[in-house]
Amino acid sequence: MLNPFLLFRATRPHFLIHSLFLSLLAVALASVTGPVNRLHALLCVCGTLLLHTSTNVLNDYFDHRSGIDARTDPTPFSGGSRLIRDGILTERATLFLGLLPFVLALPIGAYFVFVADWRLLFLFLFGSAIVLFGTSKITRWGFGLGELSAGLGLGVLPILGIYWILKGGVDARALFGSLPSGLLAFNLLLLNEFADTEADRAGGRRTLAITMGKKRAATLYTLLIGMVYLWIMAGVMTGCMPFPCLAGLLTLPFALKAVRGAALNEERPELVKAMAANVVVVLGTQALLALGYFMG
């Protein structure tokens, strides 16, 4: 019988903090204009966590099938759980474990399509395609579509979807507030790809770190991370974000460390330090923005 701890490990629970903070940010954004349905908010958080869990495990499954896992040199932030390669989980068990949370999320989505807005179905279908085919298909198409799908699936779409459910529609406030999370999720995947370029190339992926080269990809990373902070400042200055959201700027020192490490990406220790700093930027900025919206 499989150890429940190993099954939990296969979900890469430390990565799920991202979707938890993302969901809380969406709820905070929706709360600015008045109270929200707490049950619906809880269901939204649960649904987002389930879909992220499915994404993590399916990533392991498809990376093993493509041979990428066999070629990667893992870091604490990339390389997967390696449970299949180590013989702890079979391919079949991993596929089942990856699809199970996706299936469990379906009733939550169906409920909201029924009680909130049937047009949510189109957003849910788009998000489902990213969950199911992000690793196996989209990352192989190139043109930044893999990174863009991460920015949408772990940034923009959950915020817009949760806001839509809780407030009955999407407005300019939601669109404006979702962009920093989209950029942060895009950058999270972009920087993590630096460590696996050779394995990804051999496995048929066309990541930006491969197609652009690491030097240009590091420049893109820097531009996007700068845009996050400029967006927050512009949001507060124009009234699109409440004043306490300026707290999101407190992660800037970690962003500078990440930018430096991205530029020194050929030095493995510097790259790992940059990836660690980037995680602080992604999680910390979203947590501080959520606090800012709740306070505002």
Per-residue pLDDT at 6: 66
Tokens at 270, concatenated? 């510097």
Going from the first residue of the chain to its last (296 residues), give the mean pLDDT of each consecutive group of 10, the final group possibly shorter.
Answer: 65 87 96 93 97 92 83 75 77 90 96 95 95 89 93 96 96 94 96 90 91 94 97 95 96 96 88 94 97 92
Q: Which residues have C-beta within 8 Å of that of residue 103, sequence separation ≥ 6?
A: none
Is 27 in contact with 44 (CB distance < 8 Å)? yes
Per-residue pLDDT at 62: 87
* CA 75/CA 109 separation, integer angstroms: 34
Burial 68-81 (b: 16+ CB within 10 A, else e): bbeebeebebbbbb
**Top-level CATH class of 8-295?**
mainly alpha
- Helical residues (DSSP H) of 4-84, grouped into ranges: 4-10, 16-31, 38-66, 68-71
Per-residue pLDDT at 236: 96
* Longest pairwise C-alpha distance within the chain: 57
Per-residue pLDDT at 173: 92
DSSP 37: -
Q: For 161-201, give the DSSP string.
A: HHHHHHHSS--HHHHHHHHHHHHHHHHHHHHHHGGGHHHHH
Per-residue pLDDT at 3: 64
Per-residue pLDDT at 28: 96
